[in-house]
Amino acid sequence: MVNEIIAVVIGYLLGSIPSAYIATRIATGKDIRHMGGGNVGGLNTFREVGFIAS
């Protein structure tokens, strides 16, 4: 039971990291929140930055 709770907490914490934002910032130095529709999701990142950051 404890292992399942730990797995859920770790999954939640990893899922809360905005990986598309971080990848765009590292690859291009741009802020994806101010590009396209303003969404930090993978599709907006792919559309605005390209394959490298997505």
Please check whether residue 4 lies inside any domain of the structure.
no
Range of the domain at 51: 18-54
Mutual orientation of helices 19-28 and 42-49 as an angle, nearest 10°? 20
Please check whether residue 48 lies inside any domain of the structure.
yes
Domain total in the chain: 1
CB 36 within 8 A of CB 49: no
pLDDT for 54? 67
Please check whether residue 41 lies inside any domain of the structure.
yes
pLDDT for 42? 86
Please check whether residue 51 lies inside any domain of the structure.
yes
Contacts by 29-36 with C-beta closer than 8 Å and gap 24+? none
Read off the pLDDT of residues 11-54 as tens digits, 9 standing for 90 and up: 999 999 999 899 899 989 999 999 988 899 889 988 988 887 76
